[in-house]
Amino acid sequence: MHTPIYEFLTRYAAQDPLRMHMPGHKGRGLGSALDAAFPLDITEIPGADSLFDAAGIIAESEANAAAWYHTAGTVYSTAGSTLCIQTMLALMQQEHRRVLAVRNVHRAFLTASVLLGLEVEWIYPTYTGGILSGTVTPAQIAAALDASPTPACVYVTSPDYLGHCADIAGIAAVCHAHQAPLLVDNAHGAHLGLFSPSRHPIALGADLCCDSAHKMLPALTGCAYLHTSQPRYAARAKAAMSLFGSTSPSYLLLASLDLCNAYLAEHGAADLARVTAALTMLRQELSDCWRFYPGEPLHLTICAAESGMEGTELAQRLEGEGIFCEYADRDFTVLLCGCPTTLQELQRLQDALRRIAALRGQPRQPEPFSLPVPEQVCSMRRAALGDYETVPVEAAEDRICAGVHVPCPPAIPIAVSGERISGACINIFRRYGIPTVDVVK
């Protein structure tokens, strides 16, 4: 596949140009391991196009991504899915839609809601993996849409932090029967279009979705795609994104997305097939000692407590073997694979998990989890942008949650800004080892 951005950058650097333009490094590094990146780091010089008014190499590269993902439009973000989520919600606000969101959102959704002054209607999933993971049915979505007095949209996170995928096709059908757009936070699922048939949210009926290319594909951190299946959103997405995005998007990240398209088209499917086959084997071979959480294949989530070891202890023991995981809590350890993960790496992981299995103790069922519906006292925006103080969680009972600061990862809220903090919330804060909380003064 033609990679117009990368090709432009390498051609420009090869000319030995006299750079009388930004950035200030003039194409030269400081004698560090980063030096190779500097000659390719440019600004909007003639021919380089401009992200938010793209008509040249960036537009061409985005069209390559749109063709590969079969979308009506795909826009690049150099500020992750966070910027795409802000954009999706701004597009909904332009249509005066209420936002019905499944509660296990990432904090990027909360910060966007604060910036846009949104009042969110929560839909609570049946939690199956602590606060991180759960199931929501199309019937629940239909009931929430039926109860909405004004036009709405639905926001779902899938895959969630443990890799569990929602029934996007079923939810999309319900949304469309109610003329409600479906927005999917697919930050963890940029690779889902590599399956045949595609498991990508756009293929399953989503109207808008974001993919963090950097999370699951070989792309630099910060790279994300905003996809839409609707021409009306494709026409407005750039203007909406420019409300929040830097006026100096990184060309290194744009080039990384450009190269990622070529990877998807040329190698992605074969790599994914190889890794998923190896992961199926690994899960089978370790099934006598480790239980795995069901979900999309590249999230190798171990139900550690149920297998006889705290998730955090398993993560530490893996670290002792030089293996660093994505996330761990008392119940789960999340290991993220990527399409480029090699068979040798998976063998190394399998050998380590086999050795560590000998140290397991008594299996423990994860504590049952439910999030009592908190009382909403004031708007998210008022609570998050007003004065606040930080108090130990023990002193937070009955106070109003101010900040959207939640530990990252996993960055999933327990109490949301504007909600009263109950004793039940405090127990959940403790369970996740959160020592302090910001409360409205």
User: 74 or 82, CB closer to ligand PLP?
Assistant: 82
- Separation between Cα atoms, residue 405 and residue 415, nearest integer Å: 10
User: 162 or 393, CB closer to ligand PLP?
Assistant: 162
Residue with tokens 């990252």: 408
| Contacting residues toward ligand PLP, per CB under 6 A | 80-82, 106, 108, 157, 161, 185, 187-188, 212, 224
CB 115, CB 247: distance < 8 Å: no
User: 187 or 304, CB closer to ligand PLP?
Assistant: 187
Closest distance to ligand PLP from the beta carbon of 80 (Å):
2
Please state at what angle helix 138-147 crosses helix 168-177, rounded to 10 degrees. Answer: 20
CB 153, CB 92: distance < 8 Å: yes
User: 326 or 331, CB closer to ligand PLP?
Assistant: 326
Residue type, 314: L
Closest distance to ligand PLP from the beta carbon of 107 (Å):
8
Per DSSP, 267 falls in state: I
User: 76 or 161, CB closer to ligand PLP?
Assistant: 161
Tokens of 39: 């000659």
Tokens of 163: 């890799």
Tokens of 398: 């009955």
CB 229, CB 206: distance < 8 Å: yes
Closest distance to ligand PLP from the beta carbon of 177 (Å):
26
Closest distance to ligand PLP from the beta carbon of 69 (Å):
17
User: 58 or 216, CB closer to ligand PLP?
Assistant: 216
Closest distance to ligand PLP from the beta carbon of 410 (Å):
7
CB 275, CB 298: distance < 8 Å: yes
User: 48 or 132, CB closer to ligand PLP?
Assistant: 132
- H/E run at residue 304: helix 304-307
- Separation between Cα atoms, residue 61 and residue 84, nearest integer Å: 18
User: 219 or 425, CB closer to ligand PLP?
Assistant: 219
- H/E run at residue 253: helix 251-263
CB 87, CB 244: distance < 8 Å: yes
CB 134, CB 163: distance < 8 Å: no
Q: Which residue is nearest to ligand PLP (CB)?
A: 80
Cα separations (Å) of 431 from 6, 54, 108, 329, 375? 46, 47, 22, 9, 21
- Separation between Cα atoms, residue 252 and residue 370, nearest integer Å: 43
Cis status of the peptide bond prior to 435, with omega within 30 of 0: no
Closest distance to ligand PLP from the beta carbon of 99 (Å):
15
- H/E run at residue 288: none
User: 170 or 409, CB closer to ligand PLP?
Assistant: 409
User: 109 or 251, CB closer to ligand PLP?
Assistant: 109
Closest distance to ligand PLP from the beta carbon of 233 (Å):
19
Closest distance to ligand PLP from the beta carbon of 190 (Å):
10
Closest distance to ligand PLP from the beta carbon of 212 (Å):
4
- CA-nearest of 21, 10, 26, 25 to 46 is 21
- Separation between Cα atoms, residue 263 and residue 285, nearest integer Å: 30
Closest distance to ligand PLP from the beta carbon of 105 (Å):
8
- What is the residue-wise DSSP string for 293-348? --S-TTEEEEEHHHHTS-HHHHHHHHHHTT---SEE-SSEEEEE--TT--HHHHHH
Closest distance to ligand PLP from the beta carbon of 277 (Å):
26
- Separation between Cα atoms, residue 315 and residue 323, nearest integer Å: 8
Give the residues across from 438 on adjacent strands.
390
Closest distance to ligand PLP from the beta carbon of 35 (Å):
26
CA angle 149, 153, 154 (to 5 degrees): 115
CB 49, CB 40: distance < 8 Å: no
